[in-house]
């Protein structure tokens, strides 16, 4: 069996490749950047995508490509990667290999968020350029599933991390700064609202949820998350404890920082009904990232 992963160079692509390889699936990793062992190309390039589907006739296609930010400045990059990339994959599959199962990455950020747990019936809300692209991608998937019979799945990913995260992600920034402060390389961590709540799932667990979803035949869209949220201050507390420090002596709150939400929480009852459950908890993830 073959599986193409678009956006394979990111955190999720790494764990997905590892999972699929364990299942003896031949992985064709694709990324815009040059990586050894990867096919270099842009999912927004129609003929490039079509050629891969024609050549490999994949049993699975995973569309993970995106710029990981909600900032408006990246609207064209994300339109190319998410929206156009989705259409390229769907149309290429329809034309050349309609038996493929297609996974489209969705996001917690495309839903209306009033602080309550979000599930598959929560309405979408176009609150950012990024959310617009994600919503469009899902609607395109529904169109190809309903009118052409393609097996198209949408997994709505809530916050998940691993040691592979860059420091533009807050969890990794905190973990690394705690280590630097302990080593006296840095003296202060400046951060925004400590009371913002979100999920702290392990990327390897969420990738297993993706795999579980794309092999279902009774439902095609699911919220993928732990369903447990923690305030940022708890992550700071455990990270600094791992460094042997009292965080209150080293953390400075930036009151000018405006948060996108006060709480972002999933209701993953549907995916959990399959038997999938996260294996790594909040404390294990913090230790994993600190010790990496």
pLDDT in tens, 140-194: 999 999 999 999 999 999 999 999 998 889 999 999 999 999 999 989 999 989 9
- Whole-number pLDDT of residue 76: 73
Comparing 33 with 84, the larger pLDDT belongs to 84
- Whole-number pLDDT of residue 168: 87
pLDDT higher than 80, residue 72:
no
Q: Which CATH class is domain 163-199+228-263+280-291?
A: alpha beta
Q: Rounded to whole angstroms, how far apart are CA atoms 190 and 29? A: 37
Q: Rounded to whole angstroms, how far apart are CA atoms 94 and 150? A: 7
Q: Rounded to whole angstroms, how far apart are CA atoms 60 and 62? A: 7
- Whole-number pLDDT of residue 78: 72
- Whole-number pLDDT of residue 218: 95
To 5 degrees, how large is the angle CA 213–CA 158–CA 204? 60
**pTM of full prediction above 0.85:** yes
**Span 53-82, mean pLDDT?**
84
Q: What is the pLDDT of residues 19-65, one digit of tens each?
A: 999 999 999 999 988 888 899 999 999 999 999 999 999 999 999 99
Closest Cα partner for 219 from 124, 131, 152, 130?
152
Out of 3.40.50.261, 3.20.20.80, 3.40.50.720, 3.40.50.2300, the CATH code matching 2-157 is 3.40.50.720
Q: What are the start and end residues of each CATH 3.90.25.10 domain in the chain?
A: 163-199+228-263+280-291
- Is residue 166 within 8 A of residue 229, CB to CB? The reply is no
Q: Rounded to whole angstroms, how far apart are CA atoms 216 and 87? A: 22
Q: What are the start and end residues of each CATH 3.40.50.720 domain in the chain?
A: 2-157
- Whole-number pLDDT of residue 270: 98
- Which sign does the torsion angle of CA 287, 162, 33, 53 carry? positive
Closest Cα partner for 122 from 146, 152, 156, 153?
156
């Amino acid at each position: 069996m073959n599986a193409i992963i678009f956006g394979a160079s990111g955190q999720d692509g790494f764990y997905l490749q590892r999972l699929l390889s364990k299942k003896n699936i031949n992985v064709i990793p694709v990324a815009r950047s040059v990586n050894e062992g990867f096919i270099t190309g842009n999912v927004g390039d129609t003929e490039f995508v079509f050629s891969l589907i024609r050549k490999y006739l994949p049993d699975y296609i995973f569309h993970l490509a995106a710029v990981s930010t909600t900032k408006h400045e990246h609207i064209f990059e994300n339109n190319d990667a998410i929206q156009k990339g989705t259409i390229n994959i769907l149309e290429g599959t329809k034309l050349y290999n309609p038996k493929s199962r297609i996974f489209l990455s969705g996001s917690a950020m495309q839903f209306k968020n009033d602080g309550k747990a979000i599930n598959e019936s929560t309405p979408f809300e176009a609150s950012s350029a990024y959310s617009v692209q994600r919503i469009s991608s899902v609607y395109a998937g529904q169109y190809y599933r309903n009118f052409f019979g393609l097996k198209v799945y949408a997994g709505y990913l809530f916050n998940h991390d691993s040691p592979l995260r860059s420091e533009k992600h807050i969890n990794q920034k905190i973990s690394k700064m705690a280590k630097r402060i302990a080593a006296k390389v840095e003296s202060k961590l400046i951060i925004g609202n400590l009371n913002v709540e979100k999920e702290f799932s392990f990327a390897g667990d969420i990738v297993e949820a993706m795999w579980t979803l794309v092999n279902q035949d009774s439902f095609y869209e699911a919220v993928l998350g732990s369903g447990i949220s923690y305030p940022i201050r708890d992550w700071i507390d455990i990270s600094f404890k791992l460094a042997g420090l009292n965080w209150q002596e080293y953390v400075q709150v930036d009151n000018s920082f405006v948060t996108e939400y006060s709480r972002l929480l999933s209701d993953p009852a549907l995916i959990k009904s399959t038997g999938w459950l996260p294996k790594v908890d909040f404390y294990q993830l913090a230790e994993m990232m600190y010790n990496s």
